[in-house]
Amino acid sequence: MAKGERQGIAKGEWRKAGRLGFIFFILLPLALGILPALVYAERIKDIATFSGVRENELVGYSLVVGLNGTGDRDGTYYFQPFANMLGKLGINVNPADIKGKTKNIAAVVVTAKLPTMVMPGSKVDVQVSSIGDARSLQGGTLLAAQLKGFDNNVYAVAQGPVSIGGFIAGGGGTQTIKNHPNVGTVPNGAIVEREVPVQLNRKNSLDILLNMQDFVTSTRVANKINERLHGNYAKAEGPSVVSLMVPDAFANKVVDLISTVEMINVTIDTPARVIINERTGTVVFGENVTINPVALAHGSITIQINTDYQVSQPPPLAPAGAQTVVTPQKQVTVEEKKATLVQVKGSTIGELVKALNTLGVTPRDLVAILQAIKAAGSLKAELVIM
């Protein structure tokens, strides 16, 4: 074999060995499970808002007409406003003649959210809620309602057909109801008449408000902004506020600065929490929840009380005054289920869930078990009871 051929074979073998070594270097940590967990980043626009850029609450009062006999039966909330409205249209009526005479009108409160810097002529959705004893707003039309802010200025006017997303039907003691018929919406039902002025481009500084308070996350947000803007412009002021000075490059272009900052990805840090809703039996575990090794057993006691009514009737030809007697017979049954002892050796929440599934606990029992594990000091998380 020639010398050149031997050298080519040797180089090929080294390349092959190098590729195998690289693959082994990647697969070995995966097999041992020592690679770090995947880290997920979120945009700043998804975890925070900017001060001054917010929604404003609007509220108003009006009437919904055209109801098919499902309106207010009392009429206390609408007879005077309705008479005033007819008077403006040139129809003079006595308010006392309207009260209680029609079931096709319902008094409602109209609410809406007005975003910042929305120009006059834009449209927003409104929500309509009955304040009387109306049975349903189905098929009704909202009359013109002035929507005011808390400064008593009119910012929008709403009117249009009400959509309730359900229905009410039946009569004579039989009734079928779907969803909640006393609250509805008017999509794009309000026309904006006044703008909420905010001069963003004239600002020299901004405050970024985090949706969830956390010192680690606020620090990471400030660091990522400084890294993106190539300077020391952002500073974490606390667990929920990051102050941002407007760089000279974005002078009078604060809107461009906000759009740039909003698209920055930040890895958020979430506290270890277990959320418990005792009313519905809902339990939600956070990703950072861990437990120490623990052994647990759970049993339950069921008490059932049954009442049977026995009727004793007088025999035929009984003397006068004999009456039928109803005697209640109560039976009490107590059942105690056998408790199963389960040991949780792992430190992950998956091990705890697996053990609880082995016990076959119900959501109500799960709440009591988690509270007991927390009291024992084995649950490394905050219990938040709603």
Buried residues in 29-46 as b, exposed as e (16+ CB within 10 A)? eeeeeeeeeeeeeeebee
- 309: exposed, middle or buried (C-beta count within 10 Å: 0-12, 13-18, 19+)? exposed
**Residue 377 scores a pLDDT above 60:** yes
pLDDT in tens, 136-157: 898 899 999 999 998 999 999 9
Tell me the C-alpha distance between 344 and 354, whole Å: 9
Q: What is the mean pLDDT of the chain?
A: 78
Backbone angles phi, psi at 164, to 5 degrees: -105, -10
Check residue 234 and give its pLDDT.
94
CB atoms within 10 A of CB 293: 11
pLDDT in tens, 44-99: 999 998 988 888 999 999 999 989 888 887 766 666 777 777 777 777 777 666 66
**Residue 316 scores a pLDDT above 70:** yes
Among 101-110, 219-228, 326-335, the range with the most confident prediction by mean pLDDT is 219-228
Question: What residues contact 225, with CB distance under 8 A and at least 6 apart?
Answer: 44, 233, 234, 242, 244, 261, 264
Check residue 35 and give its pLDDT.
40
pLDDT in tens, 123-132: 999 999 998 8
**Residue 31 scores a pLDDT above 60:** no
Give whole-number Cα distances, 158 to 62, 110, 293, 372, in Å. Answer: 9, 8, 60, 53
Question: What residues contact 374, with CB distance under 8 A and at least 6 apart?
Answer: 381, 383
**Residues of the chain above pLDDT 90, percent:** 29
Among 252-256, 276-280, 377-381, the range with the most confident prediction by mean pLDDT is 252-256
- pTM for this model (two decimals): 0.62
349 touches 291 (CB < 8 A)? yes
Of residues 119 and 385, more confidence is placed in 119
Region of poorest pLDDT, from 9-18, 211-220, 290-299: 9-18
3-state SS record for 286-301:
CCCCEECCEEEEECCE
